[in-house]
Amino acid sequence: MMSQLHLMTTGKQRPDILEQLLPELALSVDRIHLREPLWSAKELVVCIETLVRRGVKTEQLIVHDRLDVAVVTGTGVQLTTRSMPVDLVRHRFPELVIGQSVHSLTEAIAAEQAGADYVLYGHIFETGSKPGVPPRGLDALKQVVDWTSIPVIAIGGITPDNLPDILATGCAGGAVLSGILGQASPVEAANRFQAVMQR
């Protein structure tokens, strides 16, 4: 399977900015996670409808935590430690693409057993979004990859320079926040990541 580049929104852009930017970025990334805890369900739905109208494929989109929005719009859902349990969601919505955010091997194994389609594991390297929290590192990532059979997407401090080390663990890809959306030219930044993915 080709490695995947997941783009996470950062909670710092207005909906209208993302609605302009994400259709262009959708050409350079595999999945777009709407990680916007402060938005209402209505704002998320309107944004998703706008993105799809502007050419983003519904299956590229993943909504964080908001199962209601994912079910209504047909996107995937990313469950977090605050969300409903994977097994409950899987039982009620067997067709839904479900990701689970995990921070340990134990959590990753539990997510797989509960029916998650993939896990998002991190943070791997030091990152500004988790100041003072020690990163888990590449060895721990490799362990999660080795002990689970569903795709593992790495997150946390990933750059085009360290992406080859991430992919060398056998994980399914990487997720990036400010490394793309925090850059002066997000599209150029995404293309730099994608160029490494395709080596």
Q: Which residues are catalytic?
A: 123
- For residue 194 the two structure tokens come to 């994608």
Task: Tell me the β-bridge partners of 99.
Answer: 78, 118
Nearest of 15, 71, 23, 22 to residue 44 by alpha carbon: 15
What is the CA 51 to chain-centroid distance, rounded? Answer: 17
What is the CA 119 to chain-centroid distance, rounded? Answer: 9
Sign of the dihedral through C-alpha 51, 57, 63, 68: positive
**Cis previous bond, 123, omega within 30:** yes
* Amino acid found at 7: L
* CA distance linking residue 23 with residue 10, whole number of Å: 16
3-state secondary structure of 73: helix
